[in-house]
């Protein structure tokens, strides 16, 4: 049995989902893969750090809102950087808040972990959209890996499909519905909810970013388009340089009128190769019901790759959510440790 020790940064929705998934899949990991995972440390900016070199009690953690009811012997007077350096761990799971302008503090966390010879897995879009090349180089120089499947379409393997399989078939264009919150809002508005009601519901369901303007104004989709451009086309674009329009000006009336003509409003992110480099955009688009993207409902996402050899490939799946993003972390974890 191979024992893998994990340190976590962030104990929010996705962190809980990850611990829950470790518990649910424990028997499968042991029996089928010969892998035993323990979480040795968790740091959260709100609650501090807990640490147990032989593993924290996962079942207790999954039902805990914070660290205050934990065994006092677990408490460590470490900040995040100290936890990364000092805790016994092979992998750091980085789940701090997303900042698409600077990528911090996640960039610093990822750098420290890689420099300490620890693999990094993150669903945080900031460091991947802004500093993927630098982090990938650091990982290579330190003999470790970085996993980021959860940054685009949560556990739906949009990045792995492109980078592991389709890349060799020549991808020229990528477009899709890449934000669960806005697709949920637009779907709910088709059912008669107001924009405000639908946004509130998306927040309750845990789809929205801590600051939901990141979703509704299209910044989140722009971050994902920047990641796709970088990982698939090898071209870095700053999310803030992407032409962008969100959905906050779309009214219930607009949505209902479109519906009568069999049309659906969707927030579409796109990036394509041109003679002058790559062109990227994020904007609401009216799609006829015959278009596969028009039928993606709720927090669902879809991505279309145009490939020289294969034509159009569409991948549909969940794009947000605690369990769905935790699935991406598990996918990366297994790929990296195997």
Determine if 158 is a binding residue for ligand HSE (CB under 6 A): no
d(CA 195, CA 49): 39
Query: Helix 13-24 crosses helix 322-337 at what angle (to 10 degrees)?
Result: 60
Comparing CA positions, the residue from 189, 238, 199, 220 lying closest to residue 301 is 220
- 319-331: burial string, b at 16+ Cβ within 10 Å, e else: bbbbbbbbbbbbb
Beta bridge partner(s), residue 76: 49
Q: Which stretch binds ligand HSE (CB under 6 A): 70-78, 135-143, 201-209, 264-272?
A: 201-209
Least gap, CB of 131 to ligand HSE (angstroms): 18
- Site for ligand HSE (CB under 6 A): which residue of 90, 215, 217, 332? 215
Is residue 128 near ligand HSE by the rule CB under 6 A? no
State yes or no: residue 229 binds ligand HSE (CB under 6 A): no
Nearer to ligand HSE, 56 or 128 (CB): 128
Q: Which residues pair with 121 in a beta bridge?
A: 93, 147
Smallest separation, CB 291 to ligand HSE (Å): 20
What is the three-class DSSP state of 197? helix
| Closest separation in Å from C-beta 68 to ligand HSE | 28
**Using the rule CB under 6 A, is 181 a contact of ligand HSE?**
yes
Omega of the bond prior to 105 within 30 degrees of 0, cis?
yes
Q: Does 94 bind ligand HSE (CB under 6 A)?
A: no
The candidate with the shortest Cα–Cα distance to 319, out of 311, 328, 308, is 328
Provide, rounded to whole angstroms, the least separation between the CB of residue 168 and ligand HSE.
27
- Strand blocks (E) in the chain: 2-9, 35-44, 48-51, 75-76, 91-94, 119-122, 146-147, 171-177, 243-244, 263-274, 277-288, 300-307, 311-318
Catalytically active residues are: 224
Instruction: Kindly state whether residue 207 participates in binding ligand HSE, applying the rule CB under 6 A.
Output: yes
Residues between 283 and 322 with contacts to ligand HSE, criterion CB under 6 A: 319-320
Provide, rounded to whole angstroms, the least separation between the CB of residue 310 and ligand HSE. 26
Contact region with ligand HSE (CB under 6 A), list: 47-55, 174-182, 191-199, 235-243: 174-182
Binding site residues, ligand HSE, CB under 6 A: 154, 179-181, 207-209, 215, 220, 319-320
């Amino acid at each position: 049995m191979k024992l893998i020790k994990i340190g976590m940064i962030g104990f929010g929705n996705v962190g809980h989902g990850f611990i829950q998934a470790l518990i649910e899949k424990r028997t499968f990991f042991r029996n089928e893969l010969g892998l035993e995972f323990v979480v040795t440390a968790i740091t959260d900016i709100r609650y501090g750090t807990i640490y147990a070199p032989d593993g924290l009690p996962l079942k207790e953690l999954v039902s805990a809102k914070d660290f205050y009811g934990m065994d006092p012997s677990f408490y460590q007077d470490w900040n995040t950087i100290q936890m990364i350096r000092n805790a016994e761990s092979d992998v750091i799971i980085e789940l701090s808040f997303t900042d698409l302008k600077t990528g911090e503090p996640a960039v610093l966390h990822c750098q420290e972990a890689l420099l300490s010879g620890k693999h990094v897995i993150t669903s945080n879009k900031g460091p991947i959209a802004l500093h993927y090349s630098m982090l990938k180089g650091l990982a290579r120089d330190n003999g470790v890996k970085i996993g980021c499947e959860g940054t685009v379409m949560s556990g739906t393997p949009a990045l792995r499909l492109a980078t592991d399989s389709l890349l060799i078939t020549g991808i020229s264009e990528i477009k899709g519905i890449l934000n669960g919150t806005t697709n949920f809002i637009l779907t709910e508005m088709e059912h008669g909810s107001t924009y405000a009601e639908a946004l509130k519901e998306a927040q309750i369901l845990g789809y929205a970013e801590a600051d939901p303007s990141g979703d509704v104004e299209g910044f989140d989709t722009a971050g994902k388009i920047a990641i796709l451009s970088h990982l698939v086309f090898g071209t870095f674009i700053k999310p803030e340089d992407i032409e962008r329009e969100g959905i906050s000006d779309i009214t219930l009336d607009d949505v209902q009128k479109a519906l009568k003509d069999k049309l659906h409003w969707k927030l579409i992110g796109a990036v394509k190769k041109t003679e002058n480099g790559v062109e990227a955009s994020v904007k609401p688009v009216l799609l006829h019901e015959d278009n596969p993207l028009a039928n993606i409902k709720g927090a669902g996402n879809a991505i279309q790759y145009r490939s020289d050899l294969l034509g159009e490939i569409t991948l549909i799946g969940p794009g947000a959510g605690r369990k769905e993003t935790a699935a991406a972390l598990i996918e990366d974890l297994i790929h990296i440790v195997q």
